[in-house]
Amino acid sequence: MPEPRASASAPLAGIKVLEIANFLAGPVGAALMSDMGADVVKIEPPAGDTTRGMQLQGDGSKAFNHSFQALNRGKRSITLDLARPEASEVVLRLMAEADVVVTNLMTVRLDRYGINFEAASARNPKIVFAQVTGWGSKGAGADRPGFDSTAYWAGSGLMHLLGEVGTPAPVSRGGQGDFPTGLNILTAVLAALRVRDQTDEAQFVEVTLQRTGLWSLASEMQRVLNTPEVPIERFDRRLAHLATRNSYETGDGRWMMLAMHNVPYWKKFCMALGREDWANDPYYVSPTGAPQNQQERIAEIDEIFRSQPLSYWAKQLDDHGCVWSPAATLEEVARDEQLLSLHPFYTIEDADGRGHSATVVTIPFDISGADIHPRHGAPDLGAHTNEVLSEAGYTAEQIADFAAKGIFG
């Protein structure tokens, strides 16, 4: 892939984004917009986004909050107590000048504060209003709180299907569903901006954690929808139809995944195992050319793989052109030379203005002519309140009056 040009432009330069969100999915989506050059103003409650407090070490002492930096890089922060009517009016005024609103407040709260899509589009008939929820902005789930571990992981079907037969249902990793949902928010907002420019009309964007999780299971769900008589169950590696699409443990306790779906790979696989007799045995290839009876060999293949360490099998499988990967640790992923050649990480120097740097995972794609990267670190709480309100046309006296009334906290 070619390197970005020196004259590369930021795709969202000139776009103003107002974020009214906390925790992960909404802030992730807005952070990606900032990476693409948008001016993102984050509205926080007086106590701050909940993730500001997620910085304790194992011994209970405070540490530099790398997580908050990753979620909120490149933004500006203002504080508003949305329970106060004056604050809602400030939000609407900011919406009037924005291109995009990103919020994860449930509909009942947006309605209570008077800052829903109807109110926003009345002030700004070209606004793109993106609401991300667990289950949806309308219907029975609209008032139901949702996190990625419930709506994305459990509610989409992922939790039920993943894990080996006979083992407890696995718990998701922290933020596992929020980050792809943030990317989903970015995708939807980019499309909505295009529609807005075509129609000159405000656009409402709906993203849910549950539907994002469902999308990751689209192949399985399409089987349920079209062949409901065939049940979808957890995977049992001992009974895999294809021995060449399965997981195996090596002699040093490492696991690896093989993914080879057709007959030509069966021969390569057998040669890598040193079982040339299997490679040419018609018992494993049907008259129609489809693989068959591989399941019967899984127990023996297990024994073969456990006879040597991962390093041995890595060479064998690569030398014979097999498709496989070790179950890599995150530490190994961080050192992966091929991955590093694609620049998946970015270090924000002096991210907090106090000498701490933060290395973050970058947006997961590149565009040769685009300037896409974290612009600066995450803001201190309320650091830009005066600046943002002044830009919106409020005078110093009005801002001081707001402060006296306590709308900033």
Using only C-alpha atoms, the chain has a radius of gyration, in whole angstroms, of 26
DSSP per-residue string spanning 111-139: HHHT-SHHHHHHH-TT-EEEEEESS-SSS
For residues 164 and 246, state if they share a domain: no
For residues 209 and 96, state if they share a domain: yes
Amino acid at 339: L
Which three-class secondary structure state does DSSP give residue 2? Answer: coil
In this structure, are residues 21 and 51 in contact, taking their beta carbons and an 8 Å threshold?
A: no
For residues 246 and 381, state if they share a domain: no
Q: Is residue 223 part of a domain?
A: no
What pLDDT score does 146 carry? 95
Q: Is residue 363 part of a domain?
A: yes
Domain boundary among 294, 329, 364: 329
What pLDDT score does 55 carry? 67
Q: How far apart are CA 244 and CA 206, in angstroms?
A: 40
For residues 92 and 196, state if they share a domain: yes
For residues 250 and 363, state if they share a domain: no
For residues 353 and 312, state if they share a domain: no
For residues 261 and 179, state if they share a domain: no
- Cross-strand bridge partners of residue 361: 345
Backbone angles phi, psi at 49, to 5 degrees: -55, 140
What pLDDT score does 57 carry? 53
For residues 91 and 176, state if they share a domain: yes
Q: Is residue 122 part of a domain?
A: yes
Q: How far apart are CA 376 and CA 73, in angstroms?
A: 6
For residues 292 and 359, state if they share a domain: no
**What would the two tokens of residue 184 be?**
């989903």
Q: How far apart are CA 138 and CA 142, in angstroms?
A: 5
Query: Residue 276 belongs to a domain with what CATH number?
Result: 3.30.1540.10
Domain boundary among 329, 358, 385: 329
DSSP per-residue string spanning 20-57: E--SSHHHHHHHHHHHTT-EEEEEE-TT--GGGG--B-
Domain range enclosing 320: 237-329
In this structure, are residues 363 and 38 in contact, taking their beta carbons and an 8 Å threshold?
A: no
- The Cα-based distances of 32 to 206, 212, 232, 408 in angstroms read 17, 17, 35, 27
What pLDDT score does 287 carry? 84
What pLDDT score does 2 carry? 47
What pLDDT score does 280 carry? 87
Q: What is the pTM of this model?
A: 0.94
For residues 132 and 249, state if they share a domain: no
Q: How far apart are CA 161 and CA 42, in angstroms?
A: 37
Q: How many domains does the chain have?
A: 2
Q: Is residue 226 part of a domain?
A: no
In this structure, are residues 192 and 224 in contact, taking their beta carbons and an 8 Å threshold?
A: no
Q: How far apart are CA 346 and CA 78, in angstroms?
A: 26
Q: Is residue 229 part of a domain?
A: no
In this structure, are residues 64 and 360 in contact, taking their beta carbons and an 8 Å threshold?
A: no
Q: Is residue 224 part of a domain?
A: no
Q: Is residue 56 part of a domain?
A: yes
Q: How far apart are CA 52 and CA 381, in angstroms?
A: 9
Backbone angles phi, psi at 101, to 5 degrees: -115, 130
* pLDDT tens for the chain, residues 1 to 409: 445 445 579 999 999 999 999 999 999 999 999 999 999 999 999 999 999 988 655 555 567 999 999 999 999 999 999 999 999 999 999 999 999 999 999 999 999 999 999 999 999 999 999 999 999 999 999 999 999 999 999 999 999 999 999 999 999 999 999 999 999 999 999 999 999 999 999 999 999 999 999 999 999 999 999 999 998 999 999 999 999 999 999 999 999 999 999 889 999 999 999 999 999 899 998 888 889 999 999 999 999 999 999 999 999 999 999 999 999 999 999 999 999 999 999 999 999 999 999 999 999 999 999 999 999 999 999 999 999 999 999 999 999 999 999 999 9
Q: How far apart are CA 295 and CA 310, in angstroms?
A: 23
For residues 258 and 300, state if they share a domain: yes
Query: Residue 373 belongs to a domain with what CATH number?
Result: 3.40.50.10540
Q: Is residue 273 part of a domain?
A: yes
Q: How far apart are CA 335 and CA 332, in angstroms?
A: 5
Q: How far apart are CA 218 and CA 224, in angstroms?
A: 10
Q: How far apart are CA 172 and CA 150, in angstroms?
A: 9
In this structure, are residues 305 and 248 in contact, taking their beta carbons and an 8 Å threshold?
A: yes
Q: How far apart are CA 155 and CA 209, in angstroms?
A: 9
What pLDDT score does 63 carry? 78
For residues 241 and 184, state if they share a domain: no
What pLDDT score does 54 carry? 82
